Each structure stands twice: as structure tokens, then as C-alpha cells.
Amino acid sequence: MLSAKLPSENHRDPLIAIIASVIICSVLTVYPLSYAVSGARPLFMLLVMLFWVMSQPTWCGIWFAFATGIFTDLLIDAPLGMNALTFVIITFIARFLTRERRILTFGNLWVISFLAILAHLFMIWIAQIMGGLQFSIARHWQPLLSSIFIFPIMYFMLRKWRV
């Protein structure tokens, strides 16, 4: 006799994992580091937002990206809406470009995350130029490499909640 599986048996509910990952990444975002090391701090909130948007499209979308961006603005004392705007634009472009793909491999997600990090840093740089803020160009691009190398670790820790 064949028994039908209930939908709850096949899928894990990612809500607790989403909340826990955002909380852990927010702690890592504001954790005090020395001045020499703090410039190369990975963009944890961007990476976790991008992972959930690409891996759980039914749970996390544009509103999740916006809320995560506003939360990041409040955490790092950035102008309100700056990270939210870049997170929403990156989410929209990533979802638009991958809507035809049903299966995203790790390599695909890593390339998308690299391009998203690059686009985020570029948009933040443009916003700072338009705002007339003073900053060091060398220090501004330091999170690029550290974020690229942190993404595989984050992916392998959260991969069991992928769709």
C-alpha cells in the first residue's frame, strides 16, 4: 500500500533559519574589530539576503531585500535607504535574470554573488560621491575579496534549506 507523503514531510520550514541567519549576520556586521581589519569586513547582510532571495524565492523577495537593507542601514548608521535601495535593485536584477533557471548550482550562485557584491559596492560608491562624502577608494573596495571568500562558507552552512 502506497502512502502519500504530506507536504510538511518533504520540505523544511525555513523561517527559523532565515531569522537566525539574519540575526547572526547582524551580529557579525557590528562586531567590533580593529581599524586595520574592519575595512575588510565581509558584507554579511548582503550575502545572507542574496542567499535567501536566490534559494527561497517563495519566502524571500523584494520586500525581504528592502527590510534587510533598512535593517543594515540602521545597524551601520548609513543614510537611511542607501543599502535598502541597492539590495532591492540587486534582488530585482538577480531574480529577473534567473527566472528561467529552475536549478541554480553552487557555481552559478557564487558568480551571481560576486556580481552582486561588485554592483553593491559600485552603487554605494556612486551614492557617496553624489552625497559629497569623503572616503578612501582603496578602503572602499576591501570587502570585495573577503565577501567572495565568505560566500562558500555561508552557502554550505545554509544549503539544507534550499528549494
Residue 6 domain flag: no
Average pLDDT over residues 100-117: 87
Question: Given a cut of 90, is residue 97 above it in pLDDT?
Answer: no
- Looking at the structure of the chain, the number of domains it has is 1
Residue 19 domain flag: yes
Question: Given a cut of 70, is residue 152 above it in pLDDT?
Answer: yes
Interval 135-144: pLDDT, tens: 666 667 889 9
Helix (H, G, I), strand (E, B) or coil at 6: coil
Supply the pTM of this predicted model: 0.88
Average pLDDT over residues 143-155: 94
Residue type, position 129, single letter: I
Residue 116 domain flag: yes
Question: Given a cut of 70, is residue 10 above it in pLDDT?
Answer: no
Give the whole-number percent of the chain exceeding pLDDT 70. 89
Cell of 130: 553624489
Per-residue pLDDT at 142: 86
Residue 125 domain flag: yes
- Domain interval for residue 153: 15-29+38-161
Residue 78 domain flag: yes
Residue 76 domain flag: yes
Residue 2 domain flag: no
Per-residue pLDDT at 138: 67
Per-residue pLDDT at 22: 96
Phi, psi of 116 (to 5 degrees): -70, -40
Q: Report yes or no: 162 and 56 within 8 Å, Cβ to Cβ.
A: yes
Residue 94 domain flag: yes
Per-residue pLDDT at 53: 94
Instruction: Give the whole-angstrom CA distance, residue 95 versus residue 85.
Output: 15
